[in-house]
């Protein structure tokens, strides 16, 4: 019948609109997950870095903490704006679809009403029988019978279509009310976050004014700190190279230029197991936030000074216990004359490093299990408790944030 293509087109449009709505919903869920992540991170920052205002932190530490907090809050504002903008697009799309559905429903109801009137006028069984009997031949009678059936089915389909569109319209109106409510809440939440950001930026600027008065001194301190970091990184590199050379020598390989471990079958299996847990490794401390990320980044004190980090620096609570992120063997324990100890744990050709410890629970050669306690994090005189955590593939440092769960 002539009406069939129209019916199919309407259904196709309906399913396309539903598919679009589902993709929008998935995007909203993704943005909401990010928003929750930043909100939780801010709670952790407040708990671990700003819980005790009585302690006199150095200006440098305060600026670093505030810079980190500001960056997270800016990310929160951005993702909330993205959510609000997406909701605006969804609201507009729903309003357009509601308007279109109302027009379609009006047209369908008018068409359906006309069909009902027509059917009523020719409703009597006698008129149908006469319509069939007046056929010129059997073939024409059969076609007329088929037409009567098709017309009845079409009436039923139109009735079902009106019903489904009415339900869709009700759902859209409900969604529209919810979306407007959600958007209003997001806008209000963002106003509060922006207000807090303004306070923090003002506080940050006041601290920077104090620092700029004696910038050379603070820059010198930052360079000295980086030199100490480079020194322990060189020591870690030396220990790993020695371990690689020892594994090669044991395997009968006399080459001194090898940068990879020669592994036993058991060590290879351990390395494969470690690799299969990429992105799922536990945090080396129960509570923590990554204050300094992996890689080279400008100092918040002086943008001309670069901070080079072979791992991540995790701010945690006082007396925090350090845990091995995977089973392995303690490769080495570094004890520094003017610094805090560090532990290296080997997992096949992978090595995890835990720096800035105050207490050690293991020693070289110990076999450890996943989440086994290996020591405690040191707390500085300014009250800052920071674990420096690194990950190496043989002697090459790699980003641990990719390997640790939701880091």
Long-range CB contacts (< 8 A, 24+ apart) of 272-280? 272/348, 274/326, 274/347, 274/348, 274/350, 275/350, 277/326, 277/403, 278/402, 278/403, 279/402, 279/403, 279/404, 279/405, 280/405
- Determine the average pLDDT of the residues in 199-223: 85
Lowest average pLDDT, out of 15-19, 43-47, 150-154, 187-191, goes to 15-19
Long-range CB contacts (< 8 A, 24+ apart) of 71-77? 72/38, 72/41, 72/42, 72/45, 73/38, 73/42, 73/193, 73/196, 73/197, 73/200, 74/197, 75/38, 76/35, 76/38, 76/39, 76/42, 76/193, 77/190, 77/193, 77/194, 77/197
End-to-end CA distance of the chain: give it in Å, rounded.
Answer: 61
- Determine the average pLDDT of the residues in 69-76: 95
pLDDT, tens digit, for every residue of 128-142?
566 656 777 778 777
Asked whether the predicted pLDDT for residue 24 surpasses 80, the reply is: no
- Determine the average pLDDT of the residues in 147-154: 67
Asked whether the predicted pLDDT for residue 168 surpasses 80, the reply is: no
- pLDDT attached to residue 158: 65
- pLDDT attached to residue 4: 46
Contact 248, 258 (CB under 8 A): yes
Lowest average pLDDT, out of 54-68, 146-160, 239-253, 371-385, goes to 146-160
Name the average pLDDT for the chain: 84
Unique residue bearing structure tokens 């909401």: 32
Beta bridge partners of 309: 295
Asked whether the predicted pLDDT for residue 61 surpasses 70, the reply is: yes
Query: Residue 223 — very low, low, confident or very high, per pLDDT cuts 50/70/90?
Result: confident
Asked whether the predicted pLDDT for residue 339 surpasses 90, the reply is: no
- Determine the average pLDDT of the residues in 228-232: 89
What's the fold here for domain 224-402?
Glucose Permease (Domain IIA) (2.70.70)
Does 338 or 335 have the greater pLDDT score?
Answer: 335
Give Cβ neighbours of residue 345 (< 8 Å, ≥ 6 apart).
324, 326, 328, 329, 330, 331, 351, 352, 353, 354, 368, 374
Lowest average pLDDT, out of 66-75, 117-126, 231-240, goes to 117-126
Q: What phi and psi values does residue 324 have, to the nearest 5 degrees?
A: -70, 135
Measure the CA–CA gap between 47 and 56, rounded to whole angstroms: 16
User: Which residues in the chain are classed under CATH 2.70.70.10?
Assistant: 224-402
- pLDDT attached to residue 109: 74
Helix segments in 251-289, DSSP class H: 265-276
pLDDT, tens digit, for every residue of 266-316?
999 999 999 999 999 999 999 999 999 999 988 888 778 888 999 999 999
Query: Residue 121 — very low, low, confident or very high, per pLDDT cuts 50/70/90?
Result: low
Query: Residue 111 — very low, low, confident or very high, per pLDDT cuts 50/70/90?
Result: confident
- pLDDT attached to residue 299: 84
Lowest average pLDDT, out of 57-71, 158-172, 188-202, goes to 158-172
């Amino acid at each position: 019948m002539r009406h069939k293509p129209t019916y199919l087109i309407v259904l196709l449009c309906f399913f396309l609109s539903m598919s679009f709505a589902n993709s929008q919903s998935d995007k909203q869920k993704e943005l909401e997950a990010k928003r929750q992540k930043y909100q939780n991170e801010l709670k952790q920052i407040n708990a671990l870095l700003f819980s005790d205002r009585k302690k006199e932190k150095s200006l440098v530490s305060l600026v670093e903490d505030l810079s980190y907090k500001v960056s997270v809050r800016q990310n929160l504002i951005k993702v909330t704006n993205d959510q609000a903008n997406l909701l605006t697009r969804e609201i507009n799309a729903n309003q357009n679809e509601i308007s279109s559905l109302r027009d379609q429903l009006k047209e369908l109801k008018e068409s359906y009403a006309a069909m009902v009137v027509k059917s009523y006028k020719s409703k009597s069984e006698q008129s149908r029988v006469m319509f069939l009997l007046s056929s010129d031949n059997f073939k024409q009678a059969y076609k007329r019978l088929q037409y009567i059936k098709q017309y009845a089915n079409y009436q039923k389909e139109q009735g079902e279509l009106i019903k489904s569109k009415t339900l869709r319209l009700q759902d859209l109106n409900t969604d529209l009310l919810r979306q407007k409510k959600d958007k209003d809440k997001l806008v209000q939440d963002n106003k509060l976050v922006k207000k807090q950001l303004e306070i923090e930026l003002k506080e940050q600027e006041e601290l920077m004014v104090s620092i700029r008065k004696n910038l050379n001194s603070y820059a010198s301190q930052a360079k000295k700190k980086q030199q100490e970091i480079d020194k322990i990184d060189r020591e870690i590199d030396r220990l790993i190279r020695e371990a690689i050379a020892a594994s090669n020598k044991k395997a009968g390989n006399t080459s001194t230029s090898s940068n990879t471990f020669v592994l036993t079958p058991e060590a290879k299996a351990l390395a494969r197991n470690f690799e299969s847990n990429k992105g799922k490794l536990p945090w080396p401390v129960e509570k923590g936030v990554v204050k300094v990320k992996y890689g080279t980044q400008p100092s918040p004190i002086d943008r001309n000074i670069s901070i080079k980090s072979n791992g991540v620096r995790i701010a945690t609570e006082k007396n925090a216990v350090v845990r091995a992120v995977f089973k392995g063997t303690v490769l080495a324990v570094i004890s520094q004359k003017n610094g805090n100890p560090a532990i290296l744990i080997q997992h096949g050709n992978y090595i995890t490093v835990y720096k800035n410890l105050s207490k050690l629970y293991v020693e070289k050669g110990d076999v450890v299990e996943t989440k086994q306690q290996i020591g405690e994090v040191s707390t500085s005189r300014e009250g800052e408790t920071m674990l420096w955590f690194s990950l190496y593939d043989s002697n090459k440092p790699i980003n641990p944030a990719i390997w640790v769960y939701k880091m």
